[in-house]
Amino acid sequence: MLSVQNVHKKMGQTNVLTNVSFDVTPGEIFGFLGPNGAGKTTTIRIITGLMPATRGTVTVDGFDVSTDRQQALSRIGAIVENPAFYPYLTGRENLIHAMNLIPGIKKVDLNALGALVGLETKLDMKVKQYSLGMKQRLGIARALLHNPKVLILDEPTNGLDPAGIADLRNYLRHLADHRGIAILISSHLLSEMELITDRFAIIDQGQIKSIQGDGEAKTESVILCKVDRKQMNEALDVVAHAFDDVKIIQQSAETFIVPRPETDIPHLLKHLVDRDIAVYQIGMKHETLEEQFLKVTKKEGGTNNAFITSQ
């Protein structure tokens, strides 16, 4: 549905984006992660036609954003950077303004749309009286006005309270599952992204460092084992003999992790018990999105420190 292929953006002498490629399929929620300044917003600006790419193509439902602008952009709903409105107009007037920007749009039931995002009683208030969370909801309503095939949300959970975030998550899931909308979300809230996305790409220094492929597990899993700290060295020796070519990582004086699947737990446990090692805990530990992010950006010499401090 949304296809970004080999997009390159040069500003002055700086390569802001280098060969950025990814696809978002109908009904999929695709996360776009990266530190500040990694190129997320530049990519979104190119997708939404706000900025031309130096090289590469962006297509929406088969229409090229640069050559079939009207066809491509009429299939996109977006919030870029922050939801901006005319503060002296009401929420309803802002939505009417947005409707007027879509050629050939059919009549929209604004009350129903307002109810959908929880603003049914607030649509006739001036936007200058809205809280940030209300503006965010109105921004989503505006992005959905014309039933887009692709929804692009830049930091959509900014300003929302935990209940609002949960509502948004459920609503986006509903849109993806029932209306087949392809959703691209950029965010720095990794825990939120982990809950909401089907797949994700990590961008750093203008390059895609990693894309979670179709059919792969969302996150890597490892075996976490806690043993008597006096027996730690012996335990590590046992594990090294139990599995060929495995990299064991000692996490603390009494815990270590083994990057093996869940089916290897009985095998590992048997070896430890046979050597009379006291095992206090054994189970699967799922690698968080944050850990994957840090791993990818560190491995590539990226800028993850800036990302961490930005949170």
- 265 belongs to the binding site for other proteins (CB under 8 A): no
Q: Looking only at residues 126 through 165 of this chain, which bind other proteins when binding is defined by CB under 8 A?
A: 142
Residue among 50, 217, 246, 278 that touches other proteins (CB under 8 A): 50
- 227 belongs to the binding site for other proteins (CB under 8 A): no
Task: For other proteins, give the closer residue by CB, 127 or 168.
Answer: 127
Residue written as token pair 């050629």: 103
Two structure tokens written together for 122: 């607030």
Give backbone dihedrals phi and psi of 173, rounded to 5 degrees, phi first. Answer: -60, -40
- 120 belongs to the binding site for other proteins (CB under 8 A): no
Residue among 62, 86, 170, 214 that touches other proteins (CB under 8 A): 86
Taking CB under 8 A as the binding criterion, the range among 92-100, 258-266, 270-278, 294-302 that sits at the site for other proteins is: 92-100
Q: How far is the CB of 179 from other proteins (least distance, A)?
A: 20
Q: List the one residue out of 187, 179, 186 whose CA is nearest residue 1.
A: 179
- 101 belongs to the binding site for other proteins (CB under 8 A): yes
**Torsion from C-alpha of 121, 127, 130, 131, nearest 10 degrees:** 140
- 280 belongs to the binding site for other proteins (CB under 8 A): no
Classify residue 163 by burial, with Cβ atoms within 10 Å: 0-12, 13-18, 19+. Answer: exposed
Task: For other proteins, give the closer residue by CB, 56 or 302.
Answer: 56
Two structure tokens written together for 50: 């706000």
**Torsion from C-alpha of 272, 220, 168, 163, nearest 10 degrees:** 20
Q: How far is the CB of 234 from other proteins (least distance, A)?
A: 59
Taking CB under 8 A as the binding criterion, the range among 81-89, 111-119, 207-215, 218-226 that sits at the site for other proteins is: 81-89
Task: For other proteins, give the closer residue by CB, 102 or 222.
Answer: 102
Task: For other proteins, give the closer residue by CB, 39 or 302.
Answer: 39
Task: For other proteins, give the closer residue by CB, 89 or 308.
Answer: 89
Q: What is the DSSP string of 118-184?
A: T-TTTTTSBGGG--HHHHHHHHHHHHHTT--SEEEEESTTTT--HHHHHHHHHHHHHHHHHH--EEE
- 230 belongs to the binding site for other proteins (CB under 8 A): no
- 213 belongs to the binding site for other proteins (CB under 8 A): no
C-beta of residue 200 within 8 angstroms of C-beta of residue 191: no
Please work out the total of residues on this chain that contact other proteins, with binding judged by CB under 8 A.
31
**Which residues, in sequence order, are CB contacts of 104 under 8 Å at separation 6+?**
74
Q: How far is the CB of 103 from other proteins (least distance, A)?
A: 6
Task: For other proteins, give the closer residue by CB, 2 or 277.
Answer: 2
Q: H/E element holding 46?
A: helix 40-47
| b/e sequence 112-149, b meaning 16+ C-beta within 10 Å | ebbebbbbeebbeeebeebeebbbbbbbbbbbbbbebb
Residue among 37, 51, 116, 265 that touches other proteins (CB under 8 A): 51
C-beta of residue 258 within 8 angstroms of C-beta of residue 223: yes
Taking CB under 8 A as the binding criterion, the range among 68-76, 107-115, 166-174, 266-274 that sits at the site for other proteins is: 68-76
Residues at the interface with other proteins (CB under 8 A) = 45, 48-51, 69-71, 73-74, 76, 78, 80-82, 84-89, 93, 96-103, 142
